[in-house]
Structure 1
């Protein structure tokens, strides 16, 4: 294999590939990226056996071929090369080396045979649809903060994507929860997604897929089977196994009878929570909300570190209420609000609280209270 490629194109492809590769590997080949030269371009394939990313970049192919080389090492070399440099890659299969040359710099890297590289088997995808980038980005961005990080509840370590009945007909829905808070986000169901099986997209896949969603003009082709999900753009294909587990019936924890309505400026509320939580204990991060007519008092009383209180002008017309929350959970939910105002719906101090963005019911959040 012998190719010449512009440094920025190589860096972009290698950045995506190396982020999938785990730093610590017991299988040496999994630390490598498979580089294949053919036609008028290069393809870069990396995997951790659960996720596979395939990236394509234009290049001048002088001699077709393929090899595998350490992903992180090659990425670091390319990152440190000067802007605008032309990079030449030439493999010597007999010697097991890849020569990397740019200007006066030259490197010789160890390679492993391409035959040893594991390629994820192609699945028969039962559901295929296209989704606009901003729509998919909103669905996952607004849900992912609520994913669990507890390995024991592995079925909560991702975002549950499925077709559901929304307010205005069928919806493409993403849900995430860790048992303390929940996010449920809806978008109109794309054409072809009627038979979408419910799948749990793993946390790492959500992070990698998010990197594909920066160009608003590109449509993402989504393919789903019972065991795999694939996101594809003209340049990149990301294939991942889905979590083998059953997502809980989230609809049971979304309250429907909460009538006490608080409307507050979301940015001001988030900043105020952050300020008073400064003196809260690291372990509990508890903050108390005291509601009275058009008045909200946020307070923290931590015997070890001190006390704090802040008052906000709000829209509230129900009976007085005192309720406590984890400050971090309140902030993360308030930070999801794109509009000016957040609407909180309460029932009693021991019941789950509902939050949404103004009158928009396509994004609904639930947070469990705590004793303070």
Structure 2
């Protein structure tokens, strides 16, 4: 195999590959990227056995063929090459060496047999549809912060993507929760997604998917089965196993009748929470919200380091209420708000609080209170 490829094209392909491979693994071939050259393009394939990414790149193919080489090492080499460089990869079939050349630089990398590279088996997808990158990015970006990191509750270690009923009809919905906070984001149901099975997309897959969604107008082809999900652009295909588990009935924890309504400028609120939480060395320190007529006082009392208080002008017309929250959770939820105002709906100091963006009900967040 012999190919010549622009540095930018090669860097994009190996960047995605090296982030998928496991740095520490007992199977050496899983640290490699499979490079396959045919006619005018080259494919770069990487996998950790749960996720597989295939990236196509235009290249000058002098000699067709395939080989595998360390994804991390190749990425580091390409990253350090000058912009605009033309990179030549030459794999001699008689040796286990790939030569990487760019200008006056030359590297020789060990290869592993391409026959040992595991290819994810093809799957029959029960649902196939297309959705704009902008829509998919919003669904996952606004929900992923609530993914649980507790391995014992593995079924919460991802985003639950499914078809759901809403006040506006059937929607494509993404939900994530860790038991302390919850995010529920809706989008218009794409044609062809009506019979899509609900799947839990793993945390790592959500991170890799984000790299495919930079072009707002790009169409992402989505394919879903009971065990796998695939996201594809013309150049990149990301295939992942889904989490084998049942996502809990999240509708039971979303409050339906929280009567006390607070409206506040989202950016001002987030900055104020961040400021008062500074006096605490622990980011999980509770921030107390004290609400009265059109007034909100945020306060932190940390016996070891001091206290802080800040007042905000808000829209609030209900009875006095004091409630505490984890400062980190408040900041994460407030940072999701794209509109000017955040609306909080309270019941009591011991009940879950609901938050949404202005009058928009397509994005709903729930956070559990703390004792203060």
User: TM-score per shorter chain, which class?
Assistant: over 0.9
Structure 2 CA distance for aligned equivalents of residues 40 and 96 of structure 1 = 24
Q: Is the 8 A contact 1:20 1:48 kept in 2?
A: yes
Give the secondary-structure state (helix, strand or coil) at the position aligned to 2:142: helix
| 2:86 equivalent in structure 1 | 86
1:117 aligns with 2:117: yes
Q: Is the 8 A contact 2:128 2:222 kept in 1?
A: yes
Displacement after TM superposition at 1:283 (Å)? 6.8
1:129 aligns with 2:164: no
Aligned residues: CA RMSD: 0.8
More deviation, 15-24/362-371:
15-24
Displacement after TM superposition at 1:284 (Å)? 4.0
Displacement after TM superposition at 1:281 (Å)? 4.9
Displacement after TM superposition at 1:92 (Å)? 1.4
CA-to-partner distance for each residue in 1:313-363, whole Å, 9 max, x for gaps?
Answer: 000000000000000001100100000000000000000000000000000
Structure 2 unaligned residues grouped into runs of 5+: none
In the TM superposition, 1:163-174 aligns within 5 A as 163-174=163-174
1:299 aligns with 2:280: no
Displacement after TM superposition at 1:285 (Å)? 1.3
Q: Is the 8 A contact 2:284 2:328 kept in 1?
A: no
| 2:151 equivalent in structure 1 | 151
Structure 2 CA distance for aligned equivalents of residues 371 and 280 of structure 1 = 16
Q: Is the 8 A contact 1:67 1:114 kept in 2?
A: yes
Displacement after TM superposition at 1:280 (Å)? 2.6
1:247 aligns with 2:247: yes
| 2:318 equivalent in structure 1 | 318
Displacement after TM superposition at 1:217 (Å)? 2.1
CA-to-partner distance for each residue in 1:115-144, whole Å, 9 max, x for gaps?
Answer: 000000011000000001110000000000
| 1:359 equivalent in structure 2 | 359
| 1:222 equivalent in structure 2 | 222
Structure 2 CA distance for aligned equivalents of residues 303 and 5 of structure 1 = 61
Structure 2 CA distance for aligned equivalents of residues 215 and 168 of structure 1 = 28
Give the secondary-structure state (helix, strand or coil) at the position aligned to 2:143: helix
| 1:67 equivalent in structure 2 | 67
| 2:30 equivalent in structure 1 | 30
Give the secondary-structure state (helix, strand or coil) at the position aligned to 1:211: helix
CA-to-partner distance for each residue in 1:153-196, whole Å, 9 max, x for gaps?
Answer: 11000000000012211100000000000000000000000001
TM-score, normalising length: structure 1 = 0.99
1:206 aligns with 2:231: no
Q: Is the 8 A contact 2:283 2:327 kept in 1?
A: no
| 2:44 equivalent in structure 1 | 44
Q: Is the 8 A contact 1:280 1:286 kept in 2?
A: no
Structure 2 CA distance for aligned equivalents of residues 281 and 107 of structure 1 = 47
TM-score, normalising length: structure 2 = 0.99
| 2:341 equivalent in structure 1 | 341
Structure 1 CA distance for aligned equivalents of residues 344 and 252 of structure 2 = 19
Q: Is the 8 A contact 2:285 2:327 kept in 1?
A: yes
Structure 1 unaligned residues grouped into runs of 5+: none
Displacement after TM superposition at 1:94 (Å)? 2.1
Count matched residues.
372
Structure 2 CA distance for aligned equivalents of residues 314 and 23 of structure 1 = 49
Structure 2 CA distance for aligned equivalents of residues 37 and 284 of structure 1 = 51
| 2:20 equivalent in structure 1 | 20
| 1:263 equivalent in structure 2 | 263
Deviating runs (4+, > 2 A) in structure 1? none
CA-to-partner distance for each residue in 1:274-293, whole Å, 9 max, x for gaps?
Answer: 11111135174111000000
